[in-house]
Amino acid sequence: MKNQPQTVAFKAGERNIFFHILTACNLRCHHCYINFEQHGTNTLSIAEIEKWLRILRGDGPANVIFLGGEPTLHPDLPTAIRTARKLDYAVTVDSNGYMLNNFLRNVRPDEVDFLSFSLDGPNALVNDAIRGQGSFNICTANLQKAVALGFNVSVIYTVSRANIAHLAGMIPLLKNSGVKRFFIQVIGLRGKSALAAKNDGRLGDSLGDSLDGSLQVSRDEWLAVVPKTAAMAAKAGIHVTYPKVFLEAEEDFACAGLVAENFFVFPNGRVYRCPLCEDYPINSYRMTDNALVRETGLREEAFFALNIAEGCVMNKLLQPDTIEYDAGGKPLRRISCCLLKQEIRLDLPTPNAA
């Protein structure tokens, strides 16, 4: 069968810039990972964005993903996209779908490789409980408009206990809307989710009350739903990517921080190599005086090479409650690097049975 998942290997020499050009947003999603104390509240000027794009470019293939907050809130995002194109970046914009500042009028489809819309449910009842009243109708309407205009459109779905039961319902929506790629994410213990975990899971609203405050999904819940739904989506002709999360016994652990060139850039100048670390001031680099400067002291990179039975050392350090152990203290399974992905698409070769 061609809809079997394959692990996407880290690409040495390829640089990925996850560029948060601002932290402001018009929504207040329950799982938002932006931490204003750690990431700041400022908006980069277009001059700063263009300088940082040049500094971060590197020599080989490079991708830039414009993020926020909500990146289309930035009035100069179209200019930033065109600058990135001139610098030979592949360009993606991740949006909540409101398409602010007339984004669809001010950017041509050929100027971006993918325009990604965030949806967390196949209908307004599920999505809006997480992302805000009215967001489903606005997002899907703009998604369909983007497809009609000729944009390559993808959808990002963050799986939590609030919506995992509705994941399969996304397939007909994606198929009927002309979506080409589907990114399934697992909710992380960052930002609001991390705060809720520290407060015994209390989210302080009706969604938290209905779920006893916990948005995290268990291993059994994840494996029972996500791989099967991903295969169904691929069979429907949609290119699907989702995190590996758990390693099989025969699989070696690999850390993207040691192999790939991923930079998570925030408007206060912090530059991380690992997204799990973004709630802490242990960033590897900082943009200072328009230069990428390596930070001193004990930083995230110091941990990447540690070899532990649990797999990802940052997961063990920052969210140890996600790991299960047997009676002898041995981890029941290893956690993969959070950037290691599974991919299913119909044009992938069938894996060897061996």
Helix orientation angle between 219-235 and 170-177, rounded to the nearest 10 degrees: 30
Give the residue among 159, 60, 179 at the shortest CA–CA distance from 117: 179
Residue type for 190, please? R
In the structure, what pLDDT confidence band is assigned to residue 207 with cuts at 50, 70 and 90?
A: very low
Domain extents for the chain? Answer: 6-253+336-344
- Whole-model pTM: value is 0.90
Does pLDDT of 200 surpass 60? no
Distance CA 250, CA 129 (A): 40
Choose from 107-121, 218-232, 303-317 the range with maximum mean pLDDT: 107-121
Q: What are phi and psi of 140, to 5 degrees?
A: -70, -35
Q: 10 with 254: CB under 8 angstroms?
A: yes
- The strand pairing partners of 265, in sequence order, are 19, 271
- The strand pairing partners of 342, in sequence order, are 7, 242
Does pLDDT of 61 surpass 70? yes
Q: According to CATH, what is the number of the domain 6-253+336-344?
A: 3.20.20.70
At 70-91, the pLDDT tens digits run: 999 999 999 999 999 999 999 9
In the structure, what pLDDT confidence band is assigned to residue 167 with cuts at 50, 70 and 90?
A: very high
Distance CA 222, CA 106 (A): 39
At 263-320, the pLDDT tens digits run: 999 999 999 999 999 999 999 999 998 899 999 999 999 999 999 999 999 988 888 8
User: Would you state the structure tokens that stand for residue 254, as one six-digit string?
Assistant: 């690999």
